[in-house]
Amino acid sequence: MPIADPINQLAERFAAAIKTAFPEVGDDAQTLIAASRQPEKGDFQSNAAMPLAKRLGMKPRDVAAKIVAAADLSGLAEPLTDESIAGPGFINIRLDAGALADMLGSMDTADLGLPPAEEPTTVVVDVCGVNLAKQMHVGHLRATVIGDTIARIHERLGHTVKRQSHVGDWGLPIAMVTAKLLSLEDAGALPDPLTLDDLNRLYKQAQAECKGEGRALAFITKHGGNAKLTAELESINAEADEYLSKAKSTLVALQGGDQRVHAMWRRLYDITMEACLAQCARLHTMITDDDSAGESTYATELAGVVDDLLARGVAEESDGAVVVRIEGLAEPCLIRKSDGGFLYATTDMAAIRRRVQQLGADQVIYCVDARQSLHFKQVFAAATMAGYATKPGMADPARLEHAAFGTILGEDNRPFKTRSGETVKLVDLLDEAVARAGGALEGRTHGLSPAEQATVAEAIGIAAIKYADLSNDRVKDYVFSYDRMVAFEGNTGPYLLYALVRIKSLFAKAEREGIAFDASAVIRLDAPEEINLALELLRYGKAVAAAAESSEPHRLCAYLYDLCTAYSSFYDKCHVLNADTESTRASRMRLCDLTGRVLADGLATLGMPTVERM
Ligand code: ARG
C-alpha cells in the first residue's frame, strides 16, 4: 500500500473524531473520505455524517457538527469549523499545504511511495493464446496487450508473475492442416519456403475439404432433389469423409508420436510461433517462448483428468459423454465426448491444475474474449470442485478470474473488418498505425535522421494502438479509430508520451542554462495548480493498486491522463525555470521531476514504449 496517502491519513483522524463524538458507535463507523466534488470548497470531503445520522436517529448536520467539534486535524489539514459543513452534512476538508508538501516529499523515493508488497503472491496471467496456422488478428491484440499489462501491474507491486500463452496447437483442426501439409509434401507440392500466409490459406482449405456439403445435400433432398446436383454433392461428401478420416488418423499418429507427422506439426508450430513472438516483441510485451504452454503440452494428461474426476464422483457419464454438473449453471461442463474425444474445457481443467499446483498460483487471471465467459464459469467451478484450484496443503482455492474483454469495432459499429470483409491481420494494423504516426510527426521532429524518425514513428504508432486498447474499459466493445489514437491531443498514447518528452526537455534546457536540480529543495505549494498537481501525484500508488485489484489497466490510464492534465495546467500557470525566486524555481523543479518519474513509471507499468523526442 502507498505510504503517503492523504485519504488514509484523514480517515484515521476522522475515525478518532467519530469515536470521541459518538462513543456508542465504536470502531465500525465509516469515515467516507473522498476527493472533493467542489474543489473550490476543499480538497477532500467526508460523507460520514449521513449514514451515522440514520443509525443514531439524528439530523445529519448535527452529526456533522459534532464530528467537526471533535476532529483534530492539526498538522494535516486546516481546522474544521461550522463553515466546513455543506449541504445535507458533507464536511469539506482543505489540506494543509505544508502537510501536503511533506507527503509529497515522502513519496519522492526510488519506488515513488509504492514499495513492493510485503507478502508477495504468485499470479499466473493467461495471455495471447494464438492458434496454429492462423495469422494473429485484431482479436489477439487485446489478449496480448491487456494480458501483458495486467502482468506488469502485478510485477510492479512486487508479486511473482508467470505469463502463460495457451496456444491452440492441438486437436482435430490442427490435424486437418497437418494432414494437408503431409499430402502436399507427398505430391512434391509443399510451398518452399513455407510461410504463415501459406499455412493460413491451407488451414482454410483443409477445413473446407473436411466439411463437405452435408447441409446443402440435406436441403436439396428435402425439397424434392435434383439428380445431377445430388450426385455431385454426394461425391463431394464422400471425399470430405475421406479427408476427415485422414485427419483423424493423423491426429492419432500425432498423439502416438509418429515421427514424420510430429515433425510436420513441429514445423507448423515453429512457423506460427516465430511470427507470433515477433509481434509480441513489436508490441513491447514481455511474452516470450518460455511462456508458451500450448494445448499440446496437456495432451497426455487429459485421459487422466477425466478418469480422476469420474473416480472421485466429480464427473458423471451422460449419454455416453462425460460431464461435470455445476450448481447454478444450466449447461454442464463437457469434458469427454461420446466418441472419446477431449474438449477445450478438458485442457483448461488440466491447465488450472498445473498453474495452481505446479506453478504455485495464488491467483490466475485469464485475459480472454468476453464471448468465452460461459466456458470459464464452467471450468472455474469444475476445477474448484475437483480441488485442482487448491494448492496442496492449503484450505482455500486460488482466485480464478476471467478478465474478459470486449470486441474491437469498426467505424460502422460492427466487428472491425477489412473493406472486403476479412478479419484484419495484426501486422497490417500495426503497420498502418505506425505509418499514420509517421504522418503526424511530419514537420515536428527537426534534426532527426530518417532512421531516427522511423524509430520514433514506430514507438508512437505502437504506443497509440496499445493505449487505445488499454484505456478503454476492458469489458466494453470499442470503436477503433486510427485518427483518434494517433492524435497528440486528448486521452491518447502520443499525448502522454509527449508530456514526458516536454518534462525531459525542461530539464535539458535547465542543464544548458546551468540551472542545477536540487533533489532536496524545500517543496512549497502555493498556487492552486501546484496543490492540484501534488494531490494527483499522491494518488499514484492507489491508482496502480486499484488497477491490479480489478485487473483493469484503464484505471491506470485514466490516472496518468489526469496527471498530465494537472501538469499541463500547472505548467501553463506557473513559471518553472523563470520563477520569481530561486526557492520557487527549485520547488517547482521538484514537482516537474516527480511528475516525470511517476509518468515514466506509469508508462513502463502499462508497457508503453517511450521516446526522447517527438
Ligand atoms: N486459443 C484460444 C482462442 O483463440 C484462446 C486461449 C485462451 N486461454 C485459455 N486458457 N483457454 O480462443
CB neighbourhood size of 248 (10 A):
17
pLDDT of residue 2: 53
pLDDT tens column, 63-105: 999 999 999 999 999 999 999 999 999 999 999 999 999 999 9
Region 429-433 average pLDDT: 95
Q: For residues 104 and 520, give the distance between their C-alpha atoms in angstroms, rounded to a whole number.
A: 12
Reference 32, options 93, 103, 114; nearest CA is: 93
Secondary structure (DSSP) of 192-223:
SS--HHHHHHHHHHHHHHHHTTHHHHHHHHHT
- Ligand 1 pocket test, candidate residues 138, 166, 423, most atoms within 8 A of CB: 166
Distance 168 CA to ligand 1 centre (A): 7
Q: Is the CB of 147 under 6 A from ligand 1?
A: no
pLDDT tens column, 578-603: 999 999 999 999 999 999 999 999 99
Reference 492, options 413, 428, 411, 560; nearest CA is: 560
The answer to whether 67 touches 10, Cβ cutoff 8 Å, is: no
* Ligand 1 nearest atom to the CA of residue 369, by list position: 12
- Ligand 1 pocket test, candidate residues 124, 125, 126, most atoms within 8 A of CB: 126
Q: Is the CB of 351 under 6 A from ligand 1?
A: yes
Q: Is the CB of 348 under 6 A from ligand 1?
A: yes
Q: Which amino acid is at 531?
A: I
CB-facing half-sphere around the CA of 463: CA atoms within 13 A: 28
Secondary structure (DSSP) of 352-383:
HHIIIIIS--SEEEE--BGGGHHHHHHHHHHH
pLDDT of residue 3: 57
- Smallest CA separation from ligand 1 atom 2, residue: 129
- What stretch of H or E contains 251? helix 227-255
Distance 215 CA to ligand 1 centre (A): 29
Q: Is the CB of 347 under 6 A from ligand 1?
A: no
Q: For residues 132 and 291, give the distance between their C-alpha atoms in angstroms, rounded to a whole number.
A: 16
> Any alpha helices (H) in 368-492, and if so which ranges?
373-386, 426-441, 450-471, 482-485
pLDDT of residue 239: 87
Q: Is the CB of 129 under 6 A from ligand 1?
A: yes
* Ligand 1 nearest atom to the CA of residue 140, by list position: 4
Query: pTM value?
Result: 0.94
Torsions phi, psi for 573 (to 5 deg): -95, -30
Q: For residues 549 and 527, give the distance between their C-alpha atoms in angstroms, rounded to a whole number.
A: 34
Q: For residues 63 and 49, give the distance between their C-alpha atoms in angstroms, rounded to a whole number.
A: 6
Q: Is the CB of 131 under 6 A from ligand 1?
A: yes
pLDDT tens column, 482-510: 999 999 999 999 999 999 999 999 999 99
Query: Which range has the worst mean pLDDT, 114-123, 417-426, 478-487?
Result: 417-426
Q: Is the CB of 178 under 6 A from ligand 1?
A: no
Q: Which amino acid is at 440?
A: A
Correct CATH for 6-95 of 3.10.129.10, 3.30.1360.70, 3.40.50.300, 3.30.565.10? 3.30.1360.70
CB neighbourhood size of 528 (10 A):
14
CATH 3.30.1360.70, the chain: domain bounds: 6-95
What is the strand order of the sheet 316-318 is part of? 316-318, 321-324, 333-336
Distance 138 CA to ligand 1 centre (A): 15
Residue 126, classed as helix, strand or coil, is strand
Q: How many residues appear in the chain?
A: 614
The answer to whether 384 touches 421, Cβ cutoff 8 Å, is: no
Q: For residues 591 and 573, give the distance between their C-alpha atoms in angstroms, rounded to a whole number.
A: 14
Reference 298, options 357, 350, 359, 263; nearest CA is: 350
pLDDT of residue 38: 86
Q: In the predicted model, is pLDDT for residue 438 greater than 60?
A: yes
Q: Is the CB of 438 under 6 A from ligand 1?
A: no
Q: In the predicted model, is pLDDT for residue 464 greater than 80?
A: yes
Q: Is the CB of 368 under 6 A from ligand 1?
A: yes
* Ligand 1 nearest atom to the CA of residue 168, by list position: 1
Give the start-end residues of each E strand in 128-262: 160-165
